[in-house]
Structure 1
Amino acid sequence: MSWLDRITPGVSKMFAKRDTPENLWMKCPISGEMVFHKDLEAGMFVTPAGHHMRIGPEHRFKFTFDGDWKTLDTPEVPKDPLKFKDDKAYTSRLSAARKKTGRDDAMAIAQGSIGGVPSTVLVQDFAFMGGSLGMAAGEAFITAADAALAERTPLIAFTAAGGARMQEGCLSLMQMPRTTLAVRDLNEAGLPYIVILTDPTTGGVTASYAMLGDVHIAEPGAMIGFAGRRVIEQTIREKLPDDFQTAEYVLEKGMIDRVVHRRDLRDVLGRMLRTLMKRGGSNTPALRRNTAPADYAED
């Protein structure tokens, strides 16, 4: 008991330290400015300096759909098929990630309207084990593609990943061809598949469904690539440009179609989807896959 408690009991409680949330203020990586959390959320988690912070599925859905949306369940998969363990058991890592994010794995699916066009949206959550691609993520992607096929909607995928999940070995790598086949089904049905590349999109995700879209859009400053910068520099023994693997760099090199600010993304997607789905006229999607894989034609 302190001397203040002995002299005037109860007074110290009036000045007790309040618990302050750790994320009440967030630091902008570009400017170093501290931004109040509520101001950051009001600005769609884009700092005054323009840095697009990583966000989870709920905020993605909120910023993308016109209004309400319906979430879809993702399939269950074996929890630890290889009984993998490094310095921690894989099951422990999964439990920690689920407790941190409140979701079963890295993918979330929802259906709603974008610019008046019914759409299916898939979001990859980097907060869940770096958004890594494993069996659960692969099954979720296929579920989203099947839902788009069933409802005749476009599929919009927000990618964010450090690559394939090493704890699942070849089972994670198998998701690359499996998701590729799901994209092919969308192509054959004439349904648009649009990819929004967010920070970061790398590894096996870039090598599969992240680069198979009919249209590729990136958020400003997003890291987009396959291997890491250091590995590439050590391999080619050259210094890479400072903006290497940024959204702006890959746009200049023709790897993606547009870089769009988060505040403008819903409007851009709405106009694009109305054009591709021919809203206001025929209900037949405008997009058709020709015999040449990279060619598209309008009806």
Structure 2
Amino acid sequence: MTWLNKVRERLPFGKKRETPDNLWVKCPRCHEMLFTKEYENNLYVCPRCDYHGRIGADTRLGQLLDAGYELLDAPQVTEDPLRFKDSKPYTARLRAARANNAHQDAFTAAAGTIEGRRAVVGVQDFTFMGGSMGMAVGDAFCAAAQRALDEKCGYIVVTAAGGARMQEGILSLMQMPRATVMTRRLREAGLPYIVVLADPTTGGVTASYAMLGDVHVAEPGALIGFAGQRVIQETIREQLPEGFQRAEYLHRHGMVDMVVPRKDLRGTLSDLLDYLRPRAAA
């Protein structure tokens, strides 16, 4: 130990003050350093450049639903039905994903109210294996839709996914028509089905329930599409326009009904539920 360290230990201000590791967060877009608390209080939106950060299922449900909502039970499905293994077994990937997540798979649903309007809200969590759609996601989506049918209320789904889950093969792709059937039943019952497109929404999710809503709401800057930009560009052999597959571009071209900042999302969904709710027969 050097003489300077000995002196430091004897002085009241000599020891280095410890600070939390998570005090700051860097914005992925503008790279500004933000106070984590400020970022959280701003709904995980950068106050400098308005970048809408990706958030988990519990955070999203807490932002949208009134207090006291009910989490729906996660459906039980056969895990690893194909005994799939790439660089590691599928079961190992599931264990790793669950170790870092409070839920058993990528889709979590809850029943409650949004500013007093009854609704069932399902949230796809990109942090769980890229929000990929497998049998558990398909079952959870359908179970939540059935709950909306039973309660005769609106169904809101917040999508964020890289597409179908390759480890479940054709069983994953079968969730696309299953979810489509449930959206059709909601429509036949006259119940609103609203989709909130968060960043990113791609692949088989975009090709099914993400684009079957009565109203499509997107968060600013969200990546929305089926195939990736590089694949499209190499296929058509043309340079893609600026902002291609972003929420604002899709809104200008009629694929998205509205682009709503996160701070206004709760109020917008409440208004949509009120406007689209079934009317009593005259």
TM-score by length of 1: 0.88
Give matches, 1:215-294, under 5 Å: 215-277=215-277, 282-283=279-280
Give matches, 1:166-181, under 5 Å: 166-181=166-181
Superposed CA offset, 1:146-201 (max 9, x none):
11111111000000000000000111000001111111111111110000000000
Structure 2 residue 142 is the aligned partner of structure 1 residue 142: yes
Superposed CA offset, 1:54-112 (max 9, x none):
00111111111133211111101111111111111111110110011121100111111
Q: Which residue of 1 aligns with 2:182?
A: 182
Q: Which residue of 2 aligns with 1:51?
A: 51
Structure 2 residue 70 is the aligned partner of structure 1 residue 83: no
Q: Please give the alpha-carbon distance, in whole angstroms, between the structure 1 residues aligned to 2:153 and 2:237.
A: 46
Q: Which residue of 2 aligns with 1:37?
A: 36
Q: Compared with structure 1, are the counterparts of its residues 70 and 283 closer, same or farther at alpha carbon in structure 2 (3 Å cutoff)?
A: farther
Structure 2 residue 57 is the aligned partner of structure 1 residue 67: no
AA aligned to 1:103 is H
Q: Please give the alpha-carbon distance, in whole angstroms, between the structure 1 residues aligned to 2:177 and 2:10.
A: 67
Which structure 1 residue ranges, 5 or more long, are not aligned? Answer: 285-298
**Of 269-278 and 216-225, the range deviating more from structure 2:** 269-278
Q: Which residue of 1 aligns with 2:211?
A: 211
Q: Please give the alpha-carbon distance, in whole angstroms, between the structure 1 residues aligned to 2:10 and 2:181.
A: 68
**8 Å Cα contact 1:115-1:271 kept in structure 2:** no
Return the offset for 1:114. Answer: 0.9
Return the offset for 1:18. Answer: 3.8
Q: Compared with structure 1, are the counterparts of its residues 32 and 142 closer, same or farther at alpha carbon in structure 2 (3 Å cutoff)?
A: same
AA aligned to 1:42 is N
AA aligned to 1:24 is L
Return the offset for 1:30. Answer: 2.5
Q: Compared with structure 1, are the counterparts of its residues 7 and 51 closer, same or farther at alpha carbon in structure 2 (3 Å cutoff)?
A: closer
Q: Please give the alpha-carbon distance, in whole angstroms, between the structure 1 residues aligned to 2:75 and 2:59.
A: 22
1:101 aligned counterpart, secondary structure: coil
Q: Which residue of 2 aligns with 1:296?
A: none
Q: Please give the alpha-carbon distance, in whole angstroms, between the structure 2 residues aligned to 1:81 and 1:18.
A: 48
Q: Please give the alpha-carbon distance, in whole angstroms, between the structure 2 residues aligned to 1:157 and 1:11.
A: 60
Q: Which residue of 2 aligns with 1:151?
A: 151
Q: Please give the alpha-carbon distance, in whole angstroms, between the structure 1 residues aligned to 2:92 and 2:239.
A: 39
Identity of aligned pairs, percent?
54
Q: Please give the alpha-carbon distance, in whole angstroms, between the structure 1 residues aligned to 2:255 and 2:94.
A: 34
Q: Please give the alpha-carbon distance, in whole angstroms, between the structure 2 residues aligned to 1:174 and 1:267.
A: 34
Q: Please give the alpha-carbon distance, in whole angstroms, between the structure 2 residues aligned to 1:121 and 1:198.
A: 14
**Of 68-77 and 255-264, the range deviating more from structure 2:** 68-77
**8 Å Cα contact 1:65-1:112 kept in structure 2:** yes
1:58 aligned counterpart, secondary structure: helix
Superposed CA offset, 1:101-135 (max 9, x none):
12110011111111311110000000000000000
CA-based RMSD of the aligned residues comes to 2.2
Q: Compared with structure 1, are the counterparts of its residues 17 and 216 closer, same or farther at alpha carbon in structure 2 (3 Å cutoff)?
A: same
Which structure 2 residue ranges, 5 or more long, are not aligned? Answer: none
